[in-house]
Amino acid sequence: MQKSTSSSSLGPGGLDLSQAFFKSISHTAPPSPTKRQTKISVIGVGNVGMAIAQTILTQDLVDELALVDAKSDKLRGEMLDLQHAAAFLPRTKIIASVDYSVTSGSDLCIVTAGARQNPGESRLNLLQRNVALFKSIVPSLVKYSPETTLLVVSNPVDILTYVAWKLSGFPANRVIGSGTNLDSSRFRFLIADHLDVNAQDVQAYIVGEHGDSSVALWSGISVGGVPVLSFLERQQIALEKETLEKIHQAVVHSAYEVISLKGYTSWAIGYSVANLARTILRDQRRIHPVSVLAKGFYGIDGGDVFLSLPAQLGRSGVLGVTNVHLTDEEIEHLRNSAKTILEVQNQLGI
């Protein structure tokens, strides 16, 4: 399954044509042993996994991209389809295998694999099947890339990020969930659309669970550096709480709408995860709302729980959690979100 590294051996008897095609200049030195290439592995080549892989390639984020999936035919097909686009993409080595050894030496391992819900199946039973799947995935990634950072995208992402952390034995800063990074992008889009501005000029976060109990941080929203709610208050412009809640609910249900229309989500999560990969691998130290170990923040206790908080990311993973001021109401909602996750998590027995 893995792409042959001797693809230049097309001459008679397997002659390496690269040696015949090029002539070395004199007084050369061997390649520097300190020159390091960057590698990402994507686990799961479904719609989400391939959207992430495609976005990573077009954004020139890595030197090597490894794909892993249990379905060998689909896996090889996806690998070949990407390789055939080589003339239109930045030079990247693309390899694929059902064997996790192909992920060896990865700087970042992105896990998108997950079981699909069967008709009538409970959420807990689905979660338990995903936990069983992670028990085969995570130890294999750790074996071949003991210094990697794990980025979990599979849903329910907060609980599965906790599972990945427990199974990996990694420090908490090297296990991250994609969390509400995409939810926050949707939030920024809706606010920008409401105010007719560019979404990049809107700073707004959704935190907590990536799901129904997520929390919109209305108190921290700013547009072009101007705090929105305090500005409206100074201008004596009334903003109904129902309007705010309607926007939040639009964020929560936006993924369901996309799924109902096209059957799945892919492009937005692809861009979201590639955005996280760029920040991590290039040590950009940007702040993203991602799923991190949240115990001890904002009075969250009762057990180890992963949920989304605005966190600074870099080459070593989570560098720290931003000390964002929350209102009492927002803190209460965040703690309730943590309790919602813990109630399900505690039933797993991990």
Q: How close are the terminal C-alpha atoms of the chain, in Å?
A: 34
Which of 27, 84, 194, 210 is the catalytic position? Answer: 210
For the stretch 128-176, pLDDT in tens is: 899 999 999 999 999 999 999 999 999 889 999 999 999 999 999 999 9
In which residue are the tokens 């819900």 written?
117
* Cα 59 to Cα 46: distance, rounded to the nearest angstrom: 20
Asked if residue 165 lies in contact with residue 175, where contact means CB atoms within 8 angstroms, the answer is yes
Annotated binding site: 44-49, 69, 130, 153-155
Q: Which amino acid, residue 255?
A: A
Share of the chain above pLDDT 90, in %: 61
Report which of 65, 72, 67 is spatially closest to residue 89, judged by C-alpha positions. 65
Q: Which amino acid, residue 295?
A: K
CATH 3.90.110.10 residue ranges of the chain are 180-347
Report which of 128, 234, 145, 248 is spatially closest to residue 188, judged by C-alpha positions. 248
Q: Which CATH architecture has domain 180-347?
A: Alpha-Beta Complex (3.90)
Residue 6 confidence (pLDDT) = 42
Burial-class residue 251 by CB neighbours within 10 Å (0-12, 13-18, 19+).
Answer: buried
Residue 4: pLDDT over 60: no
Residue 5 confidence (pLDDT) = 43
Tokens of 175: 């296990």
Q: What would the mean pLDDT of 329-342 be, rounded to a whole number?
A: 92
Asked if residue 134 lies in contact with residue 142, where contact means CB atoms within 8 angstroms, the answer is no
228's CB contacts (< 8 A; 6+ apart) are 191, 221, 222
Residue 23: pLDDT over 80: no
Residue 224 confidence (pLDDT) = 85
In which residue are the tokens 């490894």 written?
66
Residue 315: pLDDT over 80: yes
Q: What would the mean pLDDT of 301-320 be, rounded to a whole number?
A: 93
CATH 3.40.50.720 residue ranges of the chain are 36-177
DSSP, collapsed to helix, strand or coil, labels residue 275 as helix
Based on C-alpha coordinates, what's the Rg of the chain? 22
Give me the torsion for CA of 227, 230, 231, 233, rounded to 10°. 160
Distance from CA of residue 89 to its chain's centroid? 22
Annotated binding site for NAD(+): 44-49, 69, 130, 153-155
CATH T-level assignment (fold) for domain 36-177: Rossmann fold (3.40.50)
210 as an active site residue: the answer is yes
**What is the model's pTM?**
0.89
Residue 331 confidence (pLDDT) = 95
